[in-house]
Structure 1
Amino acid sequence: MSTAPVSDESRGWKMPALHWQVAAALVAAAVAGSLIGPQPDFIAGCTFVGKIFLNALKMVVVPLIVAAIISGLSSVADAGGLGRMGLKTLGYYLGTGLLAIVVGLLFINLLSPGIIDGKPAGPSIGLAQDTQAVVGKIEDKGAGEFLKVFELMFPPNIIEAAADGQMLGLICFSLLFGAFIMKLPEKAATVQRQFWSGLYDVMTGMTRLIMMFAPIGVFGLVSPIIAQTGWAAAGPLAKFVAAVLLALSTHMFITLPLVLRFVARVSPLAHFRAMWPAITTAFSTSSSAATLPVTIQCMEDKAGVPKSVTSFVLPIGTTVNTDGSALYEGAVVMFIAQCYGIDLSFGAQFLIVSTALLTAIGVAGIPSASLVAIAVILGAVGLPLEGIGLVLAVDRVLDMCRTSVNVFGDSCCAVTVARLEGEDGVLGEPSLRASRQA
């Protein structure tokens, strides 16, 4: 008689992946909302469930952001310090991230997906009817808010800033804290790194636990919208998807190739050919971390980037370079503001840009990182979190696209840094020094 162990797959039904569970929850929310309609008890119950889910996300935001940034910056120091290559790498990531966010805001401003027939889409798609309270929270974010952004970076009381959700100050504090860990004696620095790395692992585990309930939260957030408005949200959402895809395409096929051509001095087409396996892997997995081995292989074997560069640049990029995600986060916040009929000033949009850029660094690599980051940015600008429910229906497809942009941006950084470091044979090109002499 055989005593071979029985595999988990043969024992019974296996739970589908989280994104399929969320998709099923969206279908269930659409069906339930359409059939039940605007019944007060149904709407109240679903709204309660959705609020619990959003509150759970808010609960982990502060310790997660702080631990992620401090742990990440300490890890960079372990990987070789912020030397010449490190400064070039971080400079590239910050610069391209800024460009990505600006491109995203540009397309949202141009296409205005949150506006229907010249009117805000919010009332027709189930957002709060009384927008005056929302407007009141951000009406003072005019020209003076541009300077206030820098004031928010240095709160007088970091505990109070955490309680009030002033994430910009927490992010700045975390960056400074992580930087000064590097100046500690090795023994003390090691203790600090271990503590913050452990805290980050704990918070990541808690976030994963919360995201296990995402299908229930999605049902609670989406079903009241469908129950109250039917399919009125389909039009604005389709327009929003188009705006985001145009922005992502512009960054991936125009902005980054221009960097390759005029900074790295290589052929963008040759780079696309070298990176195609990694791009398709990123699109199918929606994970920069899962794609990292493929990205490294493409860069070393196909693009000719030396291991000394890939081993430093690409792992850091997986953590801090999220061009596509930062673009998406800024676009979502602008879309929600349009739905509320709020014309954000330059100061408020600058606040979105700066917070999206820094938050993208802080939450990269965690499950549903963009969802957490969007909650942070909405709080910084003064918009309610209920708007997140609008984009959950299309988040999975856009996640696949923005992950591809993230991975492609990492590879562009590896090529650019290698070329600036004088490496020879990258994408078949001689070193920049040799090409100048020629």
Structure 2
Amino acid sequence: MKNNLVIQILFAFVLAIVLGAIVGPDLEIVQPLGDLFLRLIQFIIVPLVLSSLVVGVASTGNLKELGQLSFKTVSYYMVTTAIAISIGLFFGTLFSPGTGVDIDVSSNPSVEAQETPGIKDTLLNIVPTNPIAALTDGNMLQIIFFAIFLGIGITMVGEKARPLYQLFEQLAEVMYKITGVVMRFAPIGIFGLIAPTVGEYGLAVLWPLLKVILALLIGSLVHVLIVYSLSVKYLGKMSPIVFFKNIMPVAMVAFSTSSSSGTLPMTIKYTEEQLKVPRKISSFVLPLGATINMNGTALYQGVCVLFVAQYFGMNLTFVDQLTVVLTATLASIGTAGVPSAGLIMLSMVMTSIGLPLEGIALLAGIDRILDMIRTSVNVLGDASAAVVVSSKERNQTEPENQEEEYAAVHYG
């Protein structure tokens, strides 16, 4: 079943690109298929994250283990994000994408600066004043906070809270089944998302800014194939080939939807079923990653900041580039995993080093393409973190008689 779905997704992906390039804007007629698929995913995100995270935290059993899990997860995300920005700056310097670009920005609409939230406001905004409102609005960080404390409360109450735990456990099982049904429509949804995009923009829009796309694409491949591969192999004790083979359908859905949050149900499903990450790990690491882990977006910041600086003939000092790394790493916390959220982050980063915000308008025509690339990297980063954290937890608790089974799963 899994292999059939992978083949169907790949076929739909290729068919969408070919037909989009040939037919053009008329393929907008299939857009509702993509929109419907996105809505199906969005409707399962909140109950899936809430129920699975409550169960995951409650099954942890003690606050010390939860604290260690949180520290490992956030540390991995922050380190890989900083590395991603550095890689973006490197390839932005190597390709010099803004040099010689002849595009007039005077006719483009002005871009307003986005105020960078302070650390105090960022931390305060994690705590919901109304958990029901957080669920209604889909505020993922607040939902995670609520679910964690609900799980902790269930653990502290003990046997009396057993019926509540079982309720969330049953809800989680139902949501996993619904997720499996929704994923069967992934090939149709991907076709409905990719074909109109290719048809609308065509290939002509790529040429003036081809170096930006290549810098981001090659930088992303380097980050994925080196940083994630080494992390999975040496920290996660899993073969990179096994990892990428099993998680690639998720990356393709992420590429199509341009949404880390929208891909979350499929990321959870494949991480648990194919990569054998325990539910108590995946239900914590992945929702958190969809909200704060923005490796691809961070890499995009590095490339685009240098592109804008080169276009306007401005030289960035080492201090400026260090500011970009720090600002983009902090701005990634709480940035919504939704399409084009990277542009909001970019405006924050550019403001921090005094770059003209009009430069963002240069990227508007190809942002959808850039968004697809960076979202795929974001989601692969979430999955790699789940594998790494799972391995660290497993090393502390795994019985010796399970070692052979573990090796068979992780090394094929």
- Indicate the TM-score class for this superposition, using the shorter chain for normalisation: 0.5 to 0.7
Count of residue pairs the alignment pairs up: 286
Q: Could you list the runs of 5+ residues in structure 2 that have no partner in the other structure?
A: 1-27, 36-52, 58-62, 107-111, 140-203
Report how far residue 390 of structure 1 moved.
1.3
Q: Using the alignment, how far apart are the partners of 2:234 and 2:31 within structure 1?
A: 45
Equivalent residue in structure 2 for 1:408, among 356, 359, 380: 380
Q: Which amino acid aligns with 2:315?
A: D
1:269 corresponds to:
241
Q: Deviations over 1:332-368 (max 9, x none)?
A: 1111011111110011111111111122223222442
Equivalent residue in structure 1 for 2:129, among 191, 194, 215: 191
1:417 corresponds to:
389
Distance 1:165-1:302 versus aligned 2 partners, 3 A rule: closer
**Range moving further from structure 2, 337-346 or 322-331:** 322-331
2:118 corresponds to:
171
Kindly indicate whether residue 260 of structure 2 is the aligned counterpart of residue 283 of structure 1.
Answer: no
**Range moving further from structure 2, 333-342 or 370-379:** 370-379
Report how far residue 178 of structure 1 moved.
5.3
Q: Using the alignment, how far apart are the partners of 1:267 and 1:125 within structure 2?
A: 45
Q: Using the alignment, how far apart are the partners of 2:131 and 2:276 within structure 1?
A: 34
Q: Which amino acid aligns with 1:241?
A: I
Q: Which amino acid aligns with 1:125?
A: I
Q: Using the alignment, how far apart are the partners of 1:367 and 1:199 within structure 2?
A: 17
1:344 corresponds to:
316
Paired residues for 1:27-106 under 5 Å: 80=57, 83-106=67-90
Paired residues for 1:120-131 under 5 Å: 121=101, 124-127=102-105
Report how far residue 171 of structure 1 moved.
2.9
Query: Under a length normalisation based on structure 2, what TM-score does the superposition of the two structures give?
Result: 0.61
Quick check: which has more Rg, 1 or 2? 1
Q: Using the alignment, how far apart are the partners of 2:294 and 2:217 within structure 1?
A: 16
**Residues 300 and 374, structure 2, Cα contact 8 Å, conserved in 1:** yes
**Residues 328 and 345, structure 2, Cα contact 8 Å, conserved in 1:** yes
Q: Using the alignment, how far apart are the partners of 1:416 and 1:265 within structure 2?
A: 8
Q: Using the alignment, how far apart are the partners of 1:237 and 1:426 within structure 2?
A: 50
Q: Using the alignment, how far apart are the partners of 1:17 and 1:325 within structure 2?
A: 27
1:328 corresponds to:
300
**Residues 56 and 280, structure 2, Cα contact 8 Å, conserved in 1:** no
Q: Which amino acid aligns with 1:94?
A: M
**Range moving further from structure 2, 328-337 or 90-99:** 328-337
Q: Using the alignment, how far apart are the partners of 1:426 and 1:398 within structure 2?
A: 41
Q: Could you list the runs of 5+ residues in structure 1 that have no partner in the other structure?
A: 1-12, 21-75, 129-162, 182-189, 202-230, 432-438
Distance 1:191-1:250 versus aligned 2 partners, 3 A rule: same
**Residues 313 and 414, structure 1, Cα contact 8 Å, conserved in 2:** yes
Kindly indicate whether residue 211 of structure 2 is the aligned counterpart of residue 252 of structure 1.
Answer: no
Q: Using the alignment, how far apart are the partners of 1:290 and 1:426 within structure 2?
A: 35
Report how far residue 176 of structure 1 moved.
4.4
Distance 1:235-1:345 versus aligned 2 partners, 3 A rule: farther
2:176 corresponds to:
none
Q: Using the alignment, how far apart are the partners of 1:300 and 1:259 within structure 2?
A: 18
Report how far residue 89 of structure 1 moved.
0.5
Equivalent residue in structure 1 for 2:341, among 321, 344, 369: 369
Q: Using the alignment, how far apart are the partners of 1:299 and 1:372 within structure 2?
A: 29
Q: Using the alignment, how far apart are the partners of 1:98 and 1:166 within structure 2?
A: 21
Q: Using the alignment, how far apart are the partners of 2:246 and 2:113 within structure 1?
A: 47
Distance 1:249-1:428 versus aligned 2 partners, 3 A rule: farther
Q: Which amino acid aligns with 1:92?
A: Y
Kindly indicate whether residue 353 of structure 2 is the aligned counterpart of residue 381 of structure 1.
Answer: yes
Aligned-residue identity in percent: 37
Q: Using the alignment, how far apart are the partners of 2:138 and 2:287 within structure 1?
A: 17
Equivalent residue in structure 2 for 1:357, among 313, 329, 348: 329
1:65 corresponds to:
none
Q: Using the alignment, how far apart are the partners of 2:133 and 2:320 within structure 1?
A: 36
Equivalent residue in structure 1 for 2:211, among 239, 242, 253: 239
Equivalent residue in structure 2 for 1:429, among 391, 403, 406: 406
Q: Using the alignment, how far apart are the partners of 2:365 and 2:94 within structure 1?
A: 23
SS of alignment partner, residue 105 of structure 1: helix
Q: Using the alignment, how far apart are the partners of 1:348 and 1:258 within structure 2?
A: 29
**Residues 266 and 427, structure 1, Cα contact 8 Å, conserved in 2:** no
Kindly indicate whether residue 286 of structure 2 is the aligned counterpart of residue 302 of structure 1.
Answer: no
**Residues 56 and 283, structure 2, Cα contact 8 Å, conserved in 1:** no
Report how far residue 79 of structure 1 moved.
8.0
Query: Under a length normalisation based on structure 1, what TM-score does the superposition of the two structures give?
Result: 0.58
Q: Using the alignment, how far apart are the partners of 1:309 and 1:367 within structure 2?
A: 26
**Range moving further from structure 2, 107-116 or 360-369:** 360-369
SS of alignment partner, residue 343 of structure 1: coil
Q: Using the alignment, how far apart are the partners of 1:326 and 1:342 within structure 2?
A: 21
